[in-house]
């Protein structure tokens, strides 16, 4: 480095390699800051690089900085496209502190100092030079200048670690149903160490995967705040607890009832499970024949969010059944064997089943109007049994 010196000074951090035998030397000048050269205290024409032995020596310039050389930057050498011209902006030239100013930090002899600017010569050194001795972060390139490959080199860049922030996310096994509603919340957050749940009904949890029960109908905004040492993030979701209309069913365990009309005051109600109400007619109540529609109102006392519900109940009442009266006829009553006879049912009272006995010990029939063949001569007694829900008769 030639800085504020009288005469040529001393050029440091150069790499010297001998040339071909008898041809002198090839001097590689690399990673230097060459500035403010002059011939005397009074001024003059000092040169940045000056080769006085051009016949026997040559200079190779690589990644140097030239600034404020009164006689010019080059004489007897060829400039390099990798050289730069810039004010080195030393920490304190007058006190011979030639550390390069840096926003990331420069060494002041006892600690690291942050400047408002970063000198262009930081990280502009020869890219294949060693930079392993520079403080981290070193930019993967050597600094130009006096402290270029030392632990006192100015830092290349301000190291700001990338903060790993949490990302809040969750799901639930149910998002909408009826009370009492128990929901399992499943955390799906990333980079999280602390969980704060608000369930929207003035209750909280710090579990990672809490279970919460909603007992009243309504819309609840559930918020998860996920946190770690670097920050927080929130996720909001909605849970709908529905107002369920109870299911009203009609029950008539006593079977069909006959007689006078049934009024709504003769109904009794019982709640078998929440939301299901069963209405049973009072014992002995009778209805006239026909279709009856009854409007029933009730006031449940054990179901959330309801005071009154109603239902139209339709009851179909038929005539009271009576046993049928058995009767039949045949197309013929005598003839020669084999004799084929068609029997026709003429019973009254709406029978629903028939049982024929043809009296010849062969087969019976359950058809309404069967046909039977008598294969032998003889006198036979035929019986018919008819039945319905009310009973049976025989002929």
pLDDT in tens, 361-389: 878 899 999 999 988 899 999 999 999 87
Question: Does residue 118 sit within a domain?
Answer: no
Domain termination site, one of 192, 220, 241:
241
Q: Does any domain span residue 387? A: yes
Residue 13 lies in a domain: yes
| pLDDT tens for each residue of 228-237 | 999 999 999 9
Judge if 237 and 262 occupy the same domain: no
User: Once rounded to an integer, what is the mean pLDDT over residues 351-366?
Assistant: 90
Cβ-based neighbour number of residue 286 at 10 Å: 14
SS3 labels along the chain: CEECCECCCCCCCEEEEECCCCCCEEEEEECCEEECCECECCECCCEEEECCCCCCEEEEEECCEEECCCCEEEECCCCCCCCEECCCCEEEHHHCEEEECCCCCEECCCCEECCCCCCCCCCCCCCCCCCCCCCCCCCCCCCCCCCCCCCCCCCCCCCCCCCCCCECCEEECCCEECCCEEEEEEECCECCCEEEEECCCCCEECCCCCEEEECCCEEEEEEEEEEECCEEEEEEEEEEECCCCCEEEECCCCCCCCCCCCCHHHEEEEEEECCEEEEEECCCCCCCCEEEEEEEEECCCCCCCCCCEEEEEEEEECCCCCCCECCEEECCCCCCCCEEEEEEECCECCCCEEEEECCCCCCEECCCCCEEEECCCCCCCCEEEEEECCEEEEC
From 85, 102, 132, give the residue that closes a domain.
85
Please tell me the predicted confidence (pLDDT) of residue 136. 81
> What's the confidence (pLDDT) of residue 285?
53
- Using the CB atoms, write b or e for 351-363: b if 16+ within 10 Å: beebbbbbeeeee
Q: Tell whether 162 is covered by a domain.
A: no
pLDDT at 310 over 80: no
Q: Within this chain, do residues 260 and 230 fall inside the same structural domain, yes or no?
A: no
Least confident of 14-18, 123-127, 198-202, 355-359: 14-18
pLDDT score at 170: 96
Percentage above 90 pLDDT, the chain: 29
**212 and 264 assigned to the same domain:** no
Residues 6 or more apart whose Cβ sits within 8 Å of residue 120: 65, 84, 86
Do 254 and 200 reside in the same domain of the chain?
no
Judged against a pLDDT cut of 60, whether residue 54 lies above it is answered with: yes
pLDDT at 130: 84
pLDDT at 46: 77
Task: Please report the pLDDT score of residue 197 as a whole number.
Answer: 97
Same domain membership, residue 229 and residue 175: yes
Q: What is the pLDDT of residue 356?
A: 93
Residue 37 token pair: 């050269």
Same domain, 198 and 232: yes
Q: What is the pLDDT of residue 41?
A: 58
What does each C-alpha distance from 64 to 49, 190, 272 come to in angstroms? 11, 49, 95
Q: Between residues 257 and 184, which one has the greater pLDDT?
A: 184
Q: What is the pLDDT of residues 146-189, one digit of tens each?
A: 888 888 888 887 655 678 999 999 999 988 887 788 999 999 99
Q: How sure is the predictor about 261, in pLDDT bands with cuts at 50, 70 and 90?
A: very low
Same domain, 341 and 306: no
**259 within domain boundaries:** yes
Whether the predicted pLDDT of 390 surpasses 90: no
What's the CATH code of the domain at 198? 2.60.40.10
Q: Are residues 7 and 70 in the same domain?
A: yes
**Interval 287-305 mean pLDDT:** 49
Is residue 269 predicted with pLDDT exceeding 70? no
CB contact set of 382 (below 8 Å; sequence gap of 6+) = 328, 330, 343, 356, 357, 358, 359
- Cα dihedral across residues 262, 265, 268, 269: positive or negative: positive
User: Do residue 220 and residue 253 come from a single domain?
Assistant: no
Total domains in the fold of the chain? 4
Predicted local confidence at residue 104, as pLDDT: 86
Q: Do both 262 and 234 map to the same domain? A: no
Give me the pLDDT at residue 361, please.
85
When pLDDT is cut at 50, 70 and 90, the band that residue 346 belongs to is very high
Is pLDDT above 60 for 268?
Answer: no
Which residue, of 317, 352, 375, is where some domain finishes?
317
100-142 tens-digit pLDDT: 999 888 888 888 898 888 888 888 888 888 888 888 878 788 8
pLDDT tens digits, one per residue of 58-103: 888 999 999 888 888 888 888 899 999 988 888 888 888 888 999 8
- Assigned domain for 21 exists: yes
Residue 216 in any domain: the answer is yes
Other residues' Cβ atoms within 10 Å of the Cβ of residue 314: 9
The better pLDDT of the pair 204, 296 is held by 204
Q: What pLDDT, on the 0 to 100 scale, is given for residue 196?
A: 97
Please, what sign has the CA dihedral across residues 28, 33, 34, 40? Answer: negative
**Structure confidence at residue 211 as a pLDDT band (50, 70, 90):** very high
Selected residue with higher pLDDT from 288 and 150? 150
∠ CA 3-7-11, nearest 5°, is: 50
**Which tokens go with 335?**
């003839």
- Contact assessment for residue 86 and residue 106, using Cβ atoms and an 8 Å cutoff: no
pLDDT at 343: 92
The answer to whether residue 43 scores a pLDDT higher than 60 is no
Whether the CB-CB separation of 34 and 48 falls below 8 Å is answered with yes
Q: Are residues 307 and 344 in the same domain?
A: no
Q: Using CA atoms, how far apart are residues 360 and 186, in angstroms rounded to an integer?
A: 80
Question: How many whole angstroms separate alpha carbon 327 and alpha carbon 344?
Answer: 9
| Residue 193, in any domain of the structure | yes
Same domain (yes/no): 17, 81: yes
Give the range of the structural domain holding residue 235, as residue numbers without chain letter. Answer: 170-241
Residue pair 246/269 in contact by the 8 Å Cβ criterion? no
């Amino acid at each position: 480095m030639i800085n504020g010196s009288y005469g040529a000074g001393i050029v440091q951090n150069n790499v010297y390699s001998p040339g071909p035998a008898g041809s002198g030397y090839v001097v590689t000048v690399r990673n230097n800051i060459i500035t403010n050269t002059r011939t005397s205290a009074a001024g003059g024409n000092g040169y940045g690089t000056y080769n006085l032995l051009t016949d026997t020596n040559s200079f190779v310039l690589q990644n140097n900085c030239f600034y404020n050389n009164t006689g010019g930057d080059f004489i007897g050498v060829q400039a390099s496209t990798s050289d730069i011209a810039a004010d080195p902006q030393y920490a304190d030239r007058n006190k011979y502190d030639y550390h390069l100013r840096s926003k990331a930090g420069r060494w002041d002899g006892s600690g690291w100092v942050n400047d408002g600017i970063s000198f262009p010569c930081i990280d502009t050194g020869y890219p294949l030079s060693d930079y392993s001795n520079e403080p981290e972060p070193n930019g993967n390139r050597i600094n130009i200048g006096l402290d270029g490959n030392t632990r006192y080199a100015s830092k290349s860049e301000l190291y700001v670690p990338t903060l790993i922030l949490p990302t809040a996310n969750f799901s639930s096994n149910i998002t909408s149903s009826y009370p009492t509603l128990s929901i399992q919340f499943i955390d799906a957050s990333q980079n999280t160490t602390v969980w704060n749940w608000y369930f929207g009904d003035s209750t909280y949890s710090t579990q990672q995967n809490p279970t919460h029960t909603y007992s009243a109908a309504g819309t609840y905004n559930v918020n998860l705040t996920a946190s770690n040492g670097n920050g927080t993030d929130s996720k909001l979701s909605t849970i709908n607890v529905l107002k369920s209309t109870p299911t009203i069913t009609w029950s008539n365990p006593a079977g069909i009832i006959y007689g006078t009309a049934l009024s709504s005051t003769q109904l009794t109600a019982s709640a078998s499970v929440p939301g299901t109400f069963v209405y049973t007619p009072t014992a002995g109540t009778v209805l006239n024949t026909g279709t009856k529609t009854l409007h029933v109102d009730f006031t449940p006392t054990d179901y959330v969010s309801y005071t009154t519900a109603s239902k139209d109940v339709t009851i179909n009442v038929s005539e009271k059944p009576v046993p049928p009266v058995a009767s039949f006829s045949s197309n013929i009553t005598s003839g020669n064997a084999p004799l084929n006879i068609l029997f026709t049912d003429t019973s009254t009272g709406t029978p629903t089943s028939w049982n024929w006995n043809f009296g010849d010990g062969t087969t019976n029939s359950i058809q309404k109007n069967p046909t039977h063949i008598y294969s032998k001569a003889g006198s036979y007694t035929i019986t018919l049994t008819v039945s319905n829900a009310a009973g049976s008769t025989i002929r």
